[in-house]
Amino acid sequence: MSVREQIADLQKELPEGVNLVAVSKMHPASDIEEAYAAGQRVFGESRPQELCAKYEALPKDIEWHMIGHLQTNKVRSIVPFVSMIQSVDSAHLLAYIDKEAARIDRVVDVLLEIFVAQEETKHGWEEEELLTYLREGSWRSFEHVRFRGVMGIASLTENQMQIRSEFVRLRSLFDRLRGEFFGVDFDTVSMGMTSDWKLAVECGSNMVRIGSLIFGARNYGASSLPDMK
Ligand SMILES: *Cc1c(COP(=O)(O)O)cnc(C)c1O
């Protein structure tokens, strides 16, 4: 199926109120243009350099979401244009984003990335660590980040029960954080990818991040910078 057909199918299948982030990392700008022509406006990337190059090359009404691990020394390059940073996994990074956004007088939407999987390789806050940080309260002085919700990646496993329990845990943490700390602006639960998005939606996701289903398998060897297409 073409990129256009996949987008159309997904848009039909997704319940109302569930937003689609098309994850275009490692895919050429021409693929993004095809999705754009099909009406898709929200794209997710995981490497700052690739994100910046694609931003430069592509239509300016695209909403770019940073979804990969972000180092503080790369924050400045994406803060001017990024519409959401989904991968905020530490207090240090949060403070840095606030500082860089303040410097250019922007407010950047962020999601708190929560570690819910079994694998040690994944990033994100541990629940207790996050709750301790939020109770301590220094984040309340940040005027240039807007806390919009949580993001998480489930374990890479065939075990649907395991995945379901991780999604349920993430959704209930979201409800708790919304009630205890953030309120109604905190409205986004980003969970679900190609292999598990239906399960994620059943468990209360309202933002799915889908790559391979739309664009095909990623080729980790090739460059996907726009001028290489
Ligand atoms: C790559 C990636 C995705 C998309 O994965 P697919 O399995 O290709 O849909 C979603 N979220 C994050 C954080 C990713 O890094």
Q: Tell me if 153 CB under 6 Å of ligand 1.
A: yes
Domain membership flag for residue 145: yes
DSSP of 99-153, one letter per residue?
A: HHHHHTT--EEEEEEE--SS-TT---B-HHHHHHHHHH-GGGG--SEEEEEEEE-
Domain membership flag for residue 181: yes
Domain membership flag for residue 148: yes
Per-residue pLDDT at 228: 44
Domain count, the chain: 1
40: domain range?
A: 3-215
Cα separation, 23 vs 64, in Å, equals: 10
Other beta carbons less than 10 A from residue 85's beta carbon:
26
Q: Which residues sit opposite 151 in a β-bridge?
A: 113, 190
Whole-number Å distance, alpha carbon 13 to ligand 1 midpoint, is 19
Whole-number Å distance, alpha carbon 196 to ligand 1 midpoint, is 11
Give per-10-residue mean pLDDT for the chain (229 aa). 95 97 97 97 98 98 98 98 98 98 98 93 92 97 98 96 98 98 98 98 98 90 55
Domain membership flag for residue 12: yes
- Nearest CA owner, ligand 1 atom 15: 68
- What are the residues whose beta carbons fall under 8 Å from the beta carbon of 148, sequence distance 6 or more? 84, 109, 110, 111, 185, 186, 187, 188
CATH of the domain at 14: 3.20.20.10
pTM of this prediction?
0.95
Q: Tell me if 123 CB under 6 Å of ligand 1.
A: no
In the structure encoding, which two tokens stand for residue 140, read together?
């309340």
